[in-house]
Structure 1
Amino acid sequence: MIDTRRLTLRPATVDDAAFYLRLVNEPSFLENIGDKGVRDLDGARAALLAGPVAMQARLGYSLWMVVRKEDGAAIGMCGLIKRDTLPDTDIGYAYLPAYWGQGYAWEAASAAMAYGRDVVGLPRLLGIVSPGNTASSALLMKLGMRFVERLDSGKTDLYRMEFPPRHS
Structure 2
Amino acid sequence: MSLPVLFTERLILRPVAAEDFEDWARFHADESVMRFLGGVQPRSVAWRGLCAMAGAWSIRGFSMFSLVERDSGRWVGRAGPWQPEGWPGTEVGWGVLPEFAGKGFAFEAASAAIDYAVDVLRWDDVMHSIDPGNAASIALARRLGGVNRGPIRLPPPFEADPVDNWGQSATTWRARRSAGAN
| Equivalent residue, structure 2, for 1:57 | 58
> The residue matched to 2:66 in structure 1 has which SS?
strand
Q: Give, in whole Å, the separation in 2 of the partners of 1:117 and 1:157.
A: 21
Q: Give, in whole Å, the separation in 2 of the partners of 1:48 and 1:156.
A: 23
| Equivalent residue, structure 2, for 1:164 | 171
**Counterpart check, 1:150 vs 2:181:** no
Displacement of 1:128 in angstroms is 0.7
Q: 1:2 aligns with which of 2, 6, 10?
A: 6
Contact 1:88 / 1:125 at 8 angstroms: preserved in 2?
Answer: yes
**Counterpart check, 1:118 vs 2:111:** no
Q: Give, in whole Å, the separation in 1 of the partners of 2:24 and 2:137.
A: 20
Structure 1, unpaired ranges of 5+: none
Q: 1:44 aligns with which of 43, 46, 59?
A: 46
| Equivalent residue, structure 2, for 1:104 | 105
| Equivalent residue, structure 2, for 1:130 | 131
> The residue matched to 1:164 in structure 2 has which SS?
helix
Q: Give, in whole Å, the separation in 2 of the partners of 1:154 and 1:79.
A: 21
**Counterpart check, 1:85 vs 2:86:** yes
> The residue matched to 1:135 in structure 2 has which SS?
helix
Q: 1:18 aligns with which of 22, 40, 43?
A: 22
Count of equivalent residues:
163
Instruction: Give me the identity figure in percent.
Output: 28
> The residue matched to 1:161 in structure 2 has which SS?
strand
Structure 2, unpaired ranges of 5+: 154-159, 175-182
Contact 1:124 / 1:162 at 8 angstroms: preserved in 2?
Answer: yes
Runs of 4+ in structure 1 off by over 6 angstroms are none
Which residue identity is paired with 1:11?
A: P
Which residue identity is paired with 1:140?
A: A
Displacement of 1:154 in angstroms is 7.0
Task: Give me the TM-score of the superposition, normalised by structure 1.
Answer: 0.89
* RMSD (Å), alpha carbons: 2.0
Cα 1:44–1:87 change in 2 (3 A) is closer
Q: 2:31 aligns with which of 24, 27, 34?
A: 27
